[in-house]
Structure 1
Amino acid sequence: MNDILVMLSFGPDGWGDQIAAGVYITVTLALASLPLGLATGLVLALAKKSAEPSLRAWADVYTTIFRGLPELLTLFLVYYGGQILIQEVLSVFGVTNFEVSAFFAGMIALSLVFSSYASEAFLSAFRGISQGQYEGAHALGLSKLQTLRLVILPQLIRLSLPALGNLWLILLKETSLVSIIGLNDIIRYSNMAARTTKEPFLFFSIACAIYLVLALISSVGISRLEKWTKRGEAPR
C-alpha cells in the first residue's frame, strides 16, 4: 500500500505531478476545441439550410468526410499532412524550419470531427423552430441577422443542448488520441508511468477514474445548463 501511495504522490518520487499536468492538457484541449467546433458546426448548419445549392453541397461533403473518417486518421492527416502543406507554402517565402505543435493539430482535428456532428444537432434544432418565429420577427421589423441573434439562436441553443452535451462527452474522451502524436495528456503520462513502474493496472485504472470524474462533472454542468435554458418555460 505504501508503494502505491509513493507512486501516486507529488514530487520527485511519484507520478502525481505528471498525471495532474496530463489532466490539465486534456481539459484544456477539449475546451479549446469546443468553441471552434461549435462555431463551425453552426456555419455548416446554416449552409445546409441555405437556398444556395453550392453551399448545401459543400456542407454535405464536409460532414460526410469527417463523419466517415476515423478520428485517429483525421488526426494524422491534420498533424502530418497539414505540416507538409504548410512547409511547402512557407518554403516559397524562404522559411524552411516550421513545425505544427501537437496541441494545435489535436485541436484542429477534434474541432473538424466535432463540427461535423454538431452541424446535424444544430440542423435538427432549426427544424424544431416553427416558421411563425421567423414571420413574427419579420413583422417586428427585425433584420435577418437580428432575427438569428435575438429570436432563433436562444431557442437553437435550448433545443440542441442535449445532443451537444453528448458530443462534448465524446470530445472529452477523444482527446486521448493526441497521445499518439506525442502530446502529454492523461493517457500518455499513464502509459509512461505504467512502463516505468511495471504497474499498468494501477495507472490505467487511475486514468479511467479521472475520465469518469470529468464525465460526471460535465454531466452535472450540462444538466444545470439545460435547466437554465428552460427557466422561462411554464411548468407542466
Structure 2
Amino acid sequence: MSEFSIVAQYMPRILSGAVLTIQLAVLSLFLSILIGLVGATMRLSKNVFLSGIATVYSTIVRGVPDLIWMLMVYYSAQIGINALTESMGLGSFEISPFFAGVFTLSFIFGAFFTETFRGAMLAVPYGQIEAGYAYGFSKVAVLRRITFPLMMRYALPGVRNNWLVLTKATALVSIIGLDDMTRIAHQAGSSTQLPFLFNMISAGLFLVLTFVSLRAFNWLEKHYQRGVRQGVSDE
C-alpha cells in the first residue's frame, strides 16, 4: 500500500480530530476571555481582598506548567470528586476528557488574559471615560461605547498571542484520551510505521489554523484602529 493511500485512509479521522481541536480551542478561548475580564476587573479593584485573590490566581496559574494542570484536573480532581461522591453514596463520577480539556485550558489562559486585559484597561485614557460621563452616558454605555472599544485596541496583540499559544496547547488533551488531531495523527503514525509523515500532517493543519487566525486578527486590528491617526515618518 502506497503512502498516499495510507494517508487517504486516515485523513477523515484526522480531519474529524481537527474539528474537535478547533471546537476545544474556540470554547476555551471564549471562557478564558470571560475569566480574564473578571480577573482584570478584580485586579484593578480598590478592594484589597478581590485584588489579592486575582493576583494570587494569576501568579500561581502562570507559574505552573500547563501539563501539570491538565494532569491535576483530569486525574487528581477526579479522584477527589469520586472520594466525595462515594462517601455520599452517589457512586463514582467520570470527568469527560473534553470537559477537562476545556476547563483546564480556560483556567490556565484566563490567568494570561487577566494580565492582558489589565494592561489594556490601564492604557485607556481616563479623560475619555470622564467625557462619556459628562455627556450623560450610563456606566453600561460608557463600558460598551468607550472603555471596551479602546481597551480592545490595546489588548488585541496580547489576545492574538494568547490565542496562538492556546491553539498549540490543545495538543495536551491527547494525554488524557481525547481523540483530537494530535492523538489521532500519533496513533496513525504508530500503526503504519510512518510517524514523521503523520506528525507533519498534524503540524501542517496547525499551521493552516495559525494562518487563518492571523488573517482574522489582522481584520480585527484594522476594525478597532478605525479613526486612529497612524504615525507618520519624519523621513
Match of 1:3 in 2: 2
Alignment partner of 2:2: what SS?
helix
Q: Distance in 1 between matches of 2:222 and 2:160?
A: 13
After superposition, give the CA deviation of every residue in 1:143-201 in whole Å (9 maximum; x if it has no partner).
Answer: 33332223201111121011100110000000000000001111111111111100111
1:235–1:65 Cα change, 3 Å: closer
Q: 1:130 aligns with which of 125, 130, 135?
A: 125
Match of 1:59 in 2: 54
Percent sequence identity is 38
Q: 1:201 aligns with which of 196, 199, 202?
A: 196
Q: Is there any run of 5+ residues in structure 2 with no aligned partner, and where? A: none
Q: 2:102 aligns with which of 92, 102, 107?
A: 107
Q: 1:73 aligns with which of 55, 68, 93?
A: 68
The two structures, once aligned, show a CA RMSD in angstroms of 1.6
Q: Distance in 1 between matches of 2:83 and 2:194?
A: 44
**Higher mean C-alpha displacement, 128-137 vs 92-101:** 92-101
Q: What is the CA distance between 1:93 and its match in structure 2?
A: 4.8
User: In the alignment, is residue 189 of structure 1 matched against residue 184 of structure 2?
Assistant: yes
Q: 1:211 aligns with which of 181, 202, 206?
A: 206
Q: 1:39 aligns with which of 34, 38, 41?
A: 34
After superposition, give the CA deviation of every residue in 1:37-84 in whole Å (9 maximum; x if it has no partner).
Answer: 000001111011100001110001000111001000011111123223
Q: Distance in 2 between matches of 1:153 and 1:92?
A: 47
1:142–1:70 Cα change, 3 Å: same
After superposition, give the CA deviation of every residue in 1:77-106 in whole Å (9 maximum; x if it has no partner).
Answer: 111232233334434553213111001001
Q: Distance in 2 between matches of 1:93 and 1:152?
A: 48
Match of 2:140 in 1: 145
Q: Distance in 1 between matches of 2:72 and 2:92?
A: 20
Q: Distance in 1 between matches of 2:26 and 2:82?
A: 28
What is the one-letter code of the residue matched to 1:158? R
What is the one-letter code of the residue matched to 2:60? I
What is the one-letter code of the residue matched to 1:109? T
After superposition, give the CA deviation of every residue in 1:97-124 in whole Å (9 maximum; x if it has no partner).
Answer: 3111001001011111111111111111
Q: Count residues with an aligned counterpart.
A: 231
After superposition, give the CA deviation of every residue in 1:127-151 in whole Å (9 maximum; x if it has no partner).
Answer: 1111102211222233333322232
Q: Is there any run of 5+ residues in structure 1 with no aligned partner, and where? A: none
User: In the alignment, is residue 18 of structure 1 matched against residue 13 of structure 2?
Assistant: yes
